[in-house]
């Protein structure tokens, strides 16, 4: 192991590190102490010469629910390649299972990975470069939504195929609008209007308790600070991914607005949190579906939930914009990668394509549609099941989904889908490209800064300066490590 | 073990004490094997890694004391240390008080004693994840058991885990609930006190309070001491319940970011194994020092009943 060679002179530390690395990895992965060297060497070898197809069984770490199991079964039916599918575990906050296993040389052939930490993992060669394989099959970068494919690239090479994504909108409850005398066809378009509408829509019980919120930024739905920053034209990171920009005044400005919004229109963060927690734990769902907040900033996937509530009179529009702001949203999602040690590149590549391209998406949509039917039966929802597809990243797959599935839905859903397509191509931000090589640190520290400001423990400017300090340090460290690989 | 055997030749082994020693080592052998095979290596490695930069992927790089320097200038180190101390300072004494009282009650001769003992002991053997999941419901602000009970008394309960001010007390409550383990040890200690002492005191006219003050309490000090030391060591390493209660994030606003959660975050979210190792060793030193202080001060208040304890 390179560890040993490098530090043989420093005897004690050498022994400690070498024994330790081996033992620690052995303990984690239940492998053997002399597990092969991690990514470094093996990973860089591109899969230029795929091995001939044998009756190999390949390992995939992903999701093991009914839909995903079905997608993989259909792959085996079609190609004869057997897949041993097992659960990936927590893949949003760090991908512990994948990283430790790959380091120990016991990783899978194929894995699903999130996109916000994709770049830093690719930079460390934890994924195989699939550019030659794409060229071989004439799959082009332009076949994918631009922001999302960029997130799976590092220094001009593609390290995985983007699978699915999302975008965030403003949803509003038309019945609530009507009830308080607002035009149900006209959502707020500016932050000032958003505040005015919120005040009209709030409803309290006779004893002064909250019965219905108007709008709760950040906490309800799925918007995080990122959405408000991007709407306010706040830059997250420099183009070379080296300078963190959360100390840009545009962030503090957006955060100041949010703090004031809570003080004026929401009241206690804790109460709002408890309110939604109560709804969730009593089975009423998230606040907007439950009719307990009139407007919500959330992802396109929620349309699928709303369709299960035939009485919910919702509509969707782009988020309201602040003065001097810009129509905007953000996207995240999942990609499929080949782990560095995979010995079955050819089969692994087939499985990757299945998860990203049209045929596989067709299989996924059929499996998800069958699942929708099960939900309708189980929850005894009246009417025909309505299936809302997850957004693919592969453009021909998106067209196929639109033609075969979205076309069966109502005008409102078609409009929401079209808005999503427009956003994907023209006005969304990618979580991966915006967070750089210390993505998780950025995510966690941005969130802590927001919570500190909302709790009035720091001013928005202090909070964002704190974010900058911590994330810049982490980014500098990450770059140093990346560059030390040579 | 080897030293013991070399020091005393065969005849010793045949004595009762020798046989007991062998039995003792045989009983702890599985633990020793497990420890040597699975834990000792990583412990040594973590010491080496605490002077290195290591992300599991690239080879470790020697940094000298940089991890420690960074640690002591990291505001979250102090936040996490404060959160942990807060919990230790409140949870350990309160937990011991509660479990001591429970032990006293369960040491009485009443009907259905076994059922009571089981009921009080069960929380301590429920896996941490399960009990934390359960407490999510107990602590639910609107209709949770606890706030339900408080509103019955006319008190508006707080947001518990959603509240920065009440999140740590929530965890302390859970820990007190699960202190059945030390209760069992207290109970064993109570039953170890020879009945003759009480009989003699009763004949001398001591009432129950006096008997508690002059017999039970002094003779229980070794047990109290044991529970205190174990409690402090264990509570400093609180992890699972906080991880489950806060989705691994130590929120809200880092108010439950205990030391081990911060180690975990650095190791398995940020993959800073070197930094996390240095944190672990700093914690080891802190616990070591506190334990030594406890042992040093023990002689002022811990009384060993020399008849029953080997001198």
The predicted-structure confidence for A80-97, as pLDDT tens digits, reads as follows 999 999 999 888 776 889
- Is 70 exceeded by the pLDDT of residue A22? no
DSSP character for A438?
G
Which residues from B are below 8 Å from A2, CB to CB? 59
Chain B nearest-CA residue for A446? B253
Element (H, E) at B257: none
DSSP character for A130?
-
Which residues from A are below 8 Å from B270, CB to CB? 94, 438, 440-441, 474
Query: What are the respective helix, strand and coil percentages of chain A, to the nearest 5?
Result: 50, 15, 35
What's the CA gap between B267 and B250, in Å, rounded? 15
Percent of chain A with pLDDT over 90: 77
What's the CA gap between A478 and A56, in Å, rounded? 37
Element (H, E) at B2: helix B2-7
Which residues from A are below 8 Å from B57, CB to CB? 38-40, 99, 102-103, 124-126
Using a CB–CB cutoff of 8 Å, tell me whether A78 touches chain B.
Answer: no
Tell me the average pLDDT across A128-140.
Answer: 97
Using a CB–CB cutoff of 8 Å, tell me whether A374 touches chain B.
Answer: no
pLDDT at B9: 57
Strand residue runs (E) in chain B: 52-53, 61-62
Tell me the average pLDDT across B211-235.
Answer: 94
Name the residue among A10, A275, A451 with its Cβ closest to that of B62. Answer: A10
CATH class of the A17-166+333-370 domain in this structure: alpha beta
- Is 60 exceeded by the pLDDT of residue B144? yes
Chain B nearest-CA residue for A4? B59
Q: Indicate the pLDDT class of residue B89, thresholds 50, 70 and 90.
A: very high
Name the residue among A17, A273, A477 with its Cβ closest to that of B45. Answer: A17
pLDDT at B156: 84
Using a CB–CB cutoff of 8 Å, tell me whether B197 touches chain A.
Answer: no
Tell me the average pLDDT across A302-323.
Answer: 95
What's the CA gap between B198 and B211, in Å, rounded? 7
Strand residue runs (E) in A231-328: 293-299, 314-317
pLDDT at B248: 83
Burial readout B205-242 (b: 16 or more C-beta within 10 A, e: otherwise): ebeeeebeeebbeebbbbbbbebbbebbbbbbbbeebb
Q: With contact defined as beta carbons under 8 Å apart, do B242 and B171 qualify?
A: yes
Which residues from A are below 8 Å from B143, CB to CB? 278, 281-282
Q: Indicate the pLDDT class of residue A283, thresholds 50, 70 and 90.
A: confident
Q: How far is CA A427 from the centre of its chain?
A: 17
Count how many residues are written for chain B. 311
- Is 60 exceeded by the pLDDT of residue A24? no
Strand partners, A57: A82
Q: Render pLDDT for B237-254 as a digit per residue (tens, 0 to 9).
A: 999 999 999 888 887 878
Name the residue among A102, A124, A270 with its Cβ closest to that of B159. Answer: A270
| Residue (of A319, A281, A308, A280) closest to A419 by Cα position | A319
Q: Would the ipTM clear 0.85, i.e. be above it?
A: no
Q: How far is CA B45 from the centre of its chain?
A: 25
Inter-chain CB proximity A451 and B251 less than 8 Å: yes
For residue A98 the two structure tokens come to: 């994948």
DSSP character for B162?
G
Which CATH fold topology does A168-331+412-478 show?
A: D-Maltodextrin-Binding Protein; domain 2 (3.40.190)
Total beta-carbon pairs less than 8 A apart between chain A and chain B? 125
pLDDT at A47: 43
pLDDT at A242: 97
What's the CA gap between B311 and B306, in Å, rounded? 7
Tokens 């390179």 sit on residue: A2
**3 state DSSP class of A23:** helix
Strand partners, A168: A299
Using a CB–CB cutoff of 8 Å, tell me whether B17 touches chain A.
Answer: no
Element (H, E) at B53: strand B52-53
pLDDT at A284: 83
Task: Determine if the peptide bond prior to A43 is cis (ω within 30°).
Answer: no
Inter-chain CB proximity B269 and A94 less than 8 Å: yes
pLDDT at B184: 92
For residue A325 the two structure tokens come to: 């702001």
CA angle B223–B228–B231, rounded 5-degree value: 120
How close does chain B come to A162, measured CA to CA in Å? 22
Percent of chain A with pLDDT over 70: 88
Q: Indicate the pLDDT class of residue A301, thresholds 50, 70 and 90.
A: very high
Please report the residues numbered 25 through 64 in chain A whose beta carbons come closer than 8 angstroms to any beta carbon of chain B: 26-27, 38-40
pLDDT at B3: 47
| Residue (of B168, B195, B170) closest to B80 by Cα position | B168
pLDDT at A48: 43
Using a CB–CB cutoff of 8 Å, tell me whether B307 touches chain A.
Answer: no
Which residues from A are below 8 Å from B48, CB to CB? 12-13, 15-17, 20
Chain A nearest-CA residue for B254? A448
What's the CA gap between A394 and A161, in Å, rounded? 9
Name the residue among B60, B137, B248 with its Cβ closest to that of A17. Answer: B60
Percent of chain B with pLDDT over 70: 95
Q: Indicate the pLDDT class of residue A15, thresholds 50, 70 and 90.
A: very low
Tell me the average pLDDT across A258-267.
Answer: 95
CB atoms within 10 A of CB B114: 8
Inter-chain CB proximity A274 and B142 less than 8 Å: yes
Inter-chain CB proximity B163 and A39 less than 8 Å: no
The separation between the first and the last C-alpha atoms of chain B, rounded to the nearest angstrom, is 21
Tell me the average pLDDT across B167-186.
Answer: 92
Ramachandran class of A153: left when φ > 0, alpha when ψ lies in -120 to 50, beta otherwise: beta
Element (H, E) at A113: strand A110-114
pLDDT at B10: 64
Name the residue among A2, A274, A438 with its Cβ closest to that of B159. Answer: A274
Q: What separation in angstroms does the CA of A357 have from each of A395, A442, B165? A: 9, 31, 50
Q: Indicate the pLDDT class of residue A285, thresholds 50, 70 and 90.
A: confident
pLDDT at B112: 87
- Is 50 exceeded by the pLDDT of residue A11? no
Lowest mean pLDDT among A51-60, A388-397, A426-435, B99-108: A51-60
Tell me the average pLDDT across B47-59.
Answer: 93
Element (H, E) at A460: helix A460-484
| Residue (of B183, B37, B68) closest to A27 by Cα position | B37
Chain A nearest-CA residue for B47? A16
Tell me the average pLDDT across B40-53.
Answer: 95
| Residue (of A408, A435, A381) closest to A123 by Cα position | A435
DSSP character for B158?
-
pLDDT at A45: 40
At A480, give phi and psi (nearest 5°).
Answer: -60, -45
- Is 50 exceeded by the pLDDT of residue A457? yes
pLDDT at B178: 87
pLDDT at B307: 53
How close does chain A come to B275, measured CA to CA in Å? 12
Interface residue of A13, A16, A98 to substitute, partner B, most B CBs within 10 Å: A16
How close does chain B come to A425, measured CA to CA in Å? 32
Strand partners, A204: A210
- Is 80 exceeded by the pLDDT of residue B201? yes
pLDDT at A41: 36
Q: What separation in angstroms does the CA of A66 have from each of A38, A69, A385? A: 33, 5, 18
Q: How far is CA B129 from the centre of its chain?
A: 16
Inter-chain CB proximity A12 and B48 less than 8 Å: yes
Q: With contact defined as beta carbons under 8 Å apart, do B93 and B268 qualify?
A: no
- Is 60 exceeded by the pLDDT of residue A33? no
Locate CATH 3.40.190.10 in chain A.
17-166+333-370, 168-331+412-478
Inter-chain CB proximity A20 and B44 less than 8 Å: yes
Chain B nearest-CA residue for A127? B57
Q: Exposed, middle or buried, A171 (CB in 10 Å: 0-12/13-18/19+)?
A: buried
Round the average pLDDT of chain A to a whole number and report it.
88
């Amino acid at each position: 192991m390179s560890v040993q060679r490098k530090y043989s002179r420093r005897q004690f530390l050498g022994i400690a590190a070498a024994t330790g690395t081996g033992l620690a990895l052995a303990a984690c992965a239940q492998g053997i102490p002399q597990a092969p060297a991690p990514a470094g060497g093996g990973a860089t070898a591109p899969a230029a010469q795929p091995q001939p197809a044998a009756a190999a069984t390949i390992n995939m770490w992903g999701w093991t629910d009914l839909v995903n199991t079905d997608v993989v079964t259909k792959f085996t039916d079609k190609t004869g390649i057997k897949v041993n599918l097992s659960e990936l575990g927590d893949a949003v906050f760090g991908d512990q299972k994948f990283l430790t296993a790959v380091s120990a040389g016991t990783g899978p052939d194929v894995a699903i990975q999130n996109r916000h930490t994709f770049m830093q993992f690719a930079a460390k060669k934890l994924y195989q470069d699939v550019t030659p394989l794409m060229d071989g099959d004439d799959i082009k970068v332009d076949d994918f939504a631009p922001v999302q494919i960029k997130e799976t690239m590092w220094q001009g090479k593609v390290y995985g195929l983007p699978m699915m994504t999302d975008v965030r909108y403003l949803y509003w409850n038309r019945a609530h609008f009507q009830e308080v005398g607002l035009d149900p066809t006209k959502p707020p378009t500016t932050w000032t209007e958003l505040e005015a509408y919120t005040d009209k829509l709030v409803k309290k019980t006779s004893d002064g308790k909250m019965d219905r919120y108007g709008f709760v930024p950040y906490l309800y739905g799925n918007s995080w600070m990122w959405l408000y920053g991007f709407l306010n034209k706040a830059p997250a990171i420099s183009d070379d991914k080296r300078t963190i920009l959360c100390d840009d005044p545009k962030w503090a400005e957006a955060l100041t607005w949010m703090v004031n919004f809570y003080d004026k229109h929401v009241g206690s963060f804790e109460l709002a949190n408890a309110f939604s927690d109560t709804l969730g734990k009593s089975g009423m769902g998230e606040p907007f579906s439950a009719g307990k907040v009139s407007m919500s900033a959330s992802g396109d996937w929620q349309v699928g939930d709303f369709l299960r509530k035939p009485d919910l009179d919702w509509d969707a529009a782009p988020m309201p914009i602040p003065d001097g702001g810009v129509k905007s949203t953000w996207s995240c999602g999942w990609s499929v990668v080949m782990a560095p040690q995979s010995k079955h590149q050819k089969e692994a590549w087939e499985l990757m394509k299945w998860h990203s391209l049209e045929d596989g998406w067709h299989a996924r949509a059929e499996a998800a549609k069958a699942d929708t039917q099960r939900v309708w039966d189980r929850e005894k929802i009246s009417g025909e099941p309505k299936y809302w597809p997850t957004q693919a990243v592969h453009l021909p797959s998106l067209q196929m989904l639109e033609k075969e599935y979205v076309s069966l839905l109502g005008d409102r859903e078609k409009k929401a889908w079209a808005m999503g397509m427009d956003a994907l191509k023209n006005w969304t931000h990618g979580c991966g490209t915006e967070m750089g090589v210390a993505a998780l640190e950025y995510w966690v520290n941005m969130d802590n800064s927001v919570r500190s400001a909302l709790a009035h423990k720091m001013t928005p400017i202090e909070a964002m300066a704190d974010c900058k300090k911590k994330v810049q340090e982490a980014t500098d460290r990450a770059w140093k490590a990346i560059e030390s690989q040579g | 073990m080897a030293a013991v055997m070399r020091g005393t030749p065969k005849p010793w082994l045949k004595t009762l004490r020798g046989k007991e020693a062998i039995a003792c080592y045989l009983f702890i052998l599985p633990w020793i094997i497990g420890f040597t095979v699975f834990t000792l290596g990583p412990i040594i490695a973590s010491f080496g890694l605490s002077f290195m930069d290591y992300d599991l992927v690239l080879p470790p790089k020697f940094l000298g004391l940089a991890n420690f320097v960074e640690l002591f200038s990291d505001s979250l180190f102090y936040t996490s240390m404060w959160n942990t101390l807060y919990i230790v300072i409140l949870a350990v004494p309160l937990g011991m008080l509660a479990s001591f009282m429970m032990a006293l009650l369960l040491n009485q001769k009443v009907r259905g004693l076994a059922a009571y003992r089981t009921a009080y002991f069960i929380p301590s053997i429920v896996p941490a994840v399960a009990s934390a999941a359960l407490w999510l419901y107990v602590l639910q602000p609107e209709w949770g058991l606890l706030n339900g009970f408080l509103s019955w008394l006319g008190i508006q309960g707080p947001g518990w885990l959603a509240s920065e001010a009440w999140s740590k007390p929530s965890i302390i409550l859970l820990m007190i609930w699960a202190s059945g383990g030390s209760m069992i040890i207290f109970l064993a200690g109570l039953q170890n006190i020879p009945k003759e002492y009480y009989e003699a005191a009763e004949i001398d006219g001591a009432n129950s309070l006096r008997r508690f003050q002059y017999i039970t309490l002094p003779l229980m000090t070794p047990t109290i001491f044991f529970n205190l030391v174990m409690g402090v060591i264990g509570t400093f390493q609180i992890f699972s319940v906080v991880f489950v209660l806060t989705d691994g994030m130590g929120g809200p606003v880092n108010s439950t970011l205990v030391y081990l959660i911060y180690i975990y975050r650095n190791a398995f979210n940020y993959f800073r194994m070197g930094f996390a190792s240095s944190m672990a060793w700093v914690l080891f030193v802190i616990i070591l020092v506190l334990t030594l202080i406890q042992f040093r001060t023990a002689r002022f208040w811990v009384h060993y009943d020399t008849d029953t304890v080997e001198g």
